Structure 1
Amino acid sequence: MNVALVGYGRDGAVSYEYFVGRGDQVTICDEAKLPVPDGAATQMGENYLDNLDRFDLIVRSSGIHPDIILAKNPGVADKITTSIDTFLQHCPTPHTFGVTGTKGKGTTSTLITKILEASGRRAFLGGNIGLSPLGFINQLQPDDWVVLELSSYQLHDITRSTHIAVCLKMEDEHLDWHGDVQRYHAAKSRLFANQSPDDAAIYYACSPAAQRIAQHSPAARTPYYEQPGAYIDSGENVVIDGHVICHTSELQLLGKHNWQNVCAAVTAVWQAGIRDLDAIRDTVTTFKGLEHRIEFVRSLDGVAYYNDSFATNTSATIAAVLAIPQPQVLIMGGHDRMLPLENFAKQLQEQSGKIRQVIAIGASGDRLAAVLREAGLSQITRSQASTMTEVIQAAQTEAKPGDAIVLSPGFASFGMFKDFIDRGEQFKQVVNEL
């Protein structure tokens, strides 16, 4: 088969090895002239999308919208696929989970994987969390388990699904890529629409959008955060099917939003027939969370430092403010997609007793500071800092013993930093060198 890989990032590199390994002729197509394997056929530069109709299969990197390909190659829609759809087509095990939603996908997917491992299963985690599942497909046996974190980019045009599909809380995001909220929800819905009646669909009970998305599934649908899925009872215990898993005070994860993620993971494994209470309890009470998600870095001179760089939207910032108990010097700002901030400003103003100061940085800093002041939040510093060291110095001047300095930007990282990982790593490096 003659295969074009459109986009050669981390996902594309894994796809290249997979398709070459099965004997296909592969051409790497990318606008940037990147290093490629020796002997690889390439189509690089501004003409990287030319004449793609000559290929049997066009594998797009998840971030590349298919419309970009179709604009230059009308009529090739049936040839376009992704590494995720390819994996689902050829996956040798039926034991698969797919987790989508707006926030919490990585945490929930990791919890599911760790519960499976604690119960004695061999489990593989991949997808949007950073590893293409084509990188481990050849290792899989029929009794193995696979957990996929799935973004809307990856789901946009999939034609297959997982046995267990989970939709977490939904919010408006990635509208610049999808065009509008209806298309964003439609992409998420494909995970459910491609299920069979023998599968299982799970959704966040408190999110009408998640419920609507799950309704596309022909399978039995189970809510979480209310019965019959896992839920929090009046005593703040995590409960499923009459079994108390643990008290929420035993969870290492900070914040009530993580109660939701725990309930999602517990419901997912329960629906898959994994009812090992000890494995579930041990996992959810020892898991401390993923890097860059309300990650405690250190305490110094009575001030705690938290890295929440993964907070690329304002709802995630609110979740961090609510989760961290100390008064906070909040570092916010970044790339401005010009989304409305008024509702966020109102929510933050309602928590003003916990906000020592907001340090507004990046391209969004001026607009953010203005909207927050208009909402009645006066403790704002508009920082022109150009480095993380300068940002943290500005925060330190405002912090008092007993406070927390929290990097929870609420915006994407483009501009000052390469991505949220770079932003978080720089924060941790500077803090650890103080």
Structure 2
Amino acid sequence: MKIALAGFGLEGKASYDYWNTPGNEVVIVDEREQLEDLPPGAKTLLGSGVLSGLAGFDLVIRTPGLRPDKIITTGKIWSSTNEFFLKCPAPIIGVTGTKGKGTTSSLITNMLRAAGRTVHLVGNIGTPSLTELGKIQSDDVVVFELSSFQLWDLEKSPHVAVVLGIEPDHQDVHTSMEEYVEAKGNIARYQTEDDIIVFNDTNDLSKKIAGYSKAKPEPYPFAIDDLKSALQIPGEHNVENASAAVAAVKEYVTDPALLREGLSAFTGLPHRLKFVREVGRVQYYDDSIATTAGSALAAVRSFTQPKLILLGGHEKGGDYTELMKECAKGNVRIIAYGANRHMLKQLSEEYGVLCDVNNGDMSAVVAAAAARARPGDIVILSPAAASFDMFKNYADRGNQFITAVGRLKAE
């Protein structure tokens, strides 16, 4: 069979290794002129326009982030996510939403492991799914963090679908909010009466997606007062994430002691509102994963102290209204940097929020924050934008922030 890997992204090597078997001819197809870290001996078809000329392939594997309608072929368009769902022998707990996917997936994983289950965490946060596929037994459990890009053309839904809050995101790729929601909706669309749908009862779009499902509904958030003290991560939004995770594992874990053990074992993911350092009685937090205004809003609401929030990057077409309203309440100042800094400055002025514009790199931004901050303040890198205007990815952005904070001298 002649197979094209359309787009050689983060899942590229796993897909190549999976399909590059005797009897298959695998060609890596990408509109970029050059690719790094290609498998030895790999065949390639590179350059502008190549995705529209795939008529000779039997199967085209779409990488997440590549719109399906950019591929023109007479063969079948497929994805590694579809392949995994088709072949996986174990039940899958799928987690999607605009924010909180990684944290919720990790909490689910920890609680299942506390109960003695063998768990495979795959997707955005874990191992590429196809790399893990051969290790999975039927009595294991898979936790799959699913983005809209992975869900876009999914043809089978997970046994347990977790739909966190949905808000505008990835509008630089999706043509409309409706398209984004419809892509997310595939997590629920093919469920049966034997499945479970966990959804955010306070979010209209999450409820809309739950309406696509025939599964047993499990709305959240709900009070977890007896478990709340076990949480090691700050913020009311993480209490909500924990309640979603508890609902997701209800079929597998019933002992409250095991739920507490799983919750308490999780101390947070890198670049998710992680404490970095205190310098001169100013605390610095890295929330580089926050690429939406809603995520930044959650970070701001996690602390009662006066705050300096570092915002900016590549604009994804989000709505900053609620974030600006929260900042306008009086104890938040913004330092705007990156490609959309002037837009953020204009928005801040419209809402009466104090905002400084910084044209420098991350070291300059952190230095400006340190100069502005007073003892007792919280400085948060929570950009509400994508990273690739100045950085390789959100992790690179967060690491540069951590390095810059580490260089600050205590007075």
Choose from 307, 315, 337 the match for 1:328.
307
Contact 1:11 1:131 in 2 (8 A): no
Partner of 2:340: 364
Separation (CA, whole Å) in 2 of partners of 1:194 and 1:178: 22
Partner of 1:11: 11
Choose from 367, 380, 384 the match for 2:359.
384
> What's the TM-score once normalised by structure 1's chain length?
0.90
Residue 249 of structure 1 deviates from its aligned partner by 4.1
Residue 389 of structure 1 deviates from its aligned partner by 1.0
Contact 2:310 2:383 in 1 (8 A): yes
Partner of 2:65: 63
Partner of 1:235: none
Runs (5+) with no aligned partner, structure 2? none
Residue 286 of structure 1 deviates from its aligned partner by 3.5
Q: Give the fraction of aligned pairs with identical amino acids, expressed as a percent.
A: 40
Aligned CA-pair RMSD: 1.7
Partner of 1:228: none
1:151-176 residue CA offsets vs partner (Å, 9 max, x unmatched): 01110111112111110111111223
**Aligned pairs for 1:228-307 within 5 A:** 231-232=222-223, 238=224, 244=226, 246=227, 248-270=228-250, 272-307=251-286
Separation (CA, whole Å) in 1 of partners of 2:230 and 2:87: 40
Partner of 1:29: 29
Partner of 1:186: 182
**Aligned pairs for 1:133-172 within 5 A:** 133-172=129-168
Separation (CA, whole Å) in 2 of partners of 1:164 and 1:337: 30
Matching of residue 421 in structure 1 with residue 401 in structure 2:
no
Separation (CA, whole Å) in 1 of partners of 2:307 and 2:80: 42
**Aligned pairs for 1:346-361 within 5 A:** 346-350=325-329, 352-353=330-331, 355=332, 357-361=333-337
Contact 1:302 1:403 in 2 (8 A): yes
1:134-186 residue CA offsets vs partner (Å, 9 max, x unmatched): 01101111111100000011101111121111101111112232211111111
Matching of residue 344 in structure 1 with residue 332 in structure 2:
no
Residue 10 of structure 1 deviates from its aligned partner by 2.2
Residues 162 and 17 of structure 1: CA distance in aligned 2, closer, same or farther (over 3 Å): same
Matching of residue 315 in structure 1 with residue 294 in structure 2:
yes
Separation (CA, whole Å) in 2 of partners of 1:16 and 1:264: 35
After the TM superposition, which of the residue ranges 357-366 and 141-150 deviates more from structure 2?
357-366
Separation (CA, whole Å) in 2 of partners of 1:290 and 1:418: 19
One-letter amino acid matched to 2:155: T
Separation (CA, whole Å) in 2 of partners of 1:276 and 1:16: 42
Separation (CA, whole Å) in 2 of partners of 1:250 and 1:96: 26
Separation (CA, whole Å) in 2 of partners of 1:261 and 1:342: 23
> What's the TM-score once normalised by structure 2's chain length?
0.94
Contact 1:84 1:132 in 2 (8 A): no
Residues 278 and 398 of structure 1: CA distance in aligned 2, closer, same or farther (over 3 Å): same
Matching of residue 108 in structure 1 with residue 83 in structure 2:
no
1:96-129 residue CA offsets vs partner (Å, 9 max, x unmatched): 1000111111100111111111111110101122
Contact 2:169 2:316 in 1 (8 A): no
1:213-256 residue CA offsets vs partner (Å, 9 max, x unmatched): 0111122122121xxxxx11xxxxx16xxxx4x2x344211111
1:22-53 residue CA offsets vs partner (Å, 9 max, x unmatched): 75321111123214222222212225325312
Choose from 80, 83, 88 the match for 1:83.
80
Separation (CA, whole Å) in 2 of partners of 1:55 and 1:158: 21
Partner of 1:123: 119
Secondary structure at 1:366's aligned position in 2? helix
Separation (CA, whole Å) in 1 of partners of 2:307 and 2:149: 34
Contact 2:152 2:184 in 1 (8 A): yes
1:258-287 residue CA offsets vs partner (Å, 9 max, x unmatched): 1110000000000x3321322211121342
Separation (CA, whole Å) in 2 of partners of 1:111 and 1:261: 8
Separation (CA, whole Å) in 2 of partners of 1:130 and 1:277: 26
Residues 408 and 23 of structure 1: CA distance in aligned 2, closer, same or farther (over 3 Å): same
Separation (CA, whole Å) in 1 of partners of 2:319 and 2:299: 20
Separation (CA, whole Å) in 2 of partners of 1:97 and 1:22: 33
Aligned length: 406
Secondary structure at 2:20's aligned position in 1? helix
Residue 293 of structure 1 deviates from its aligned partner by 0.9
Matching of residue 196 in structure 1 with residue 175 in structure 2:
no
Secondary structure at 1:165's aligned position in 2? strand
Contact 1:318 1:347 in 2 (8 A): yes
Choose from 372, 377, 383 the match for 1:409.
383
Residue 200 of structure 1 deviates from its aligned partner by 1.2
Residues 65 and 300 of structure 1: CA distance in aligned 2, closer, same or farther (over 3 Å): same
Separation (CA, whole Å) in 2 of partners of 1:404 and 1:45: 47
Q: Which has the higher contact order (CA 8 A, sep 6+)?
A: 2
Choose from 175, 179, 189 the match for 2:171.
175
Secondary structure at 1:177's aligned position in 2? coil
Separation (CA, whole Å) in 1 of partners of 2:85 and 2:358: 47
Residue 417 of structure 1 deviates from its aligned partner by 1.4
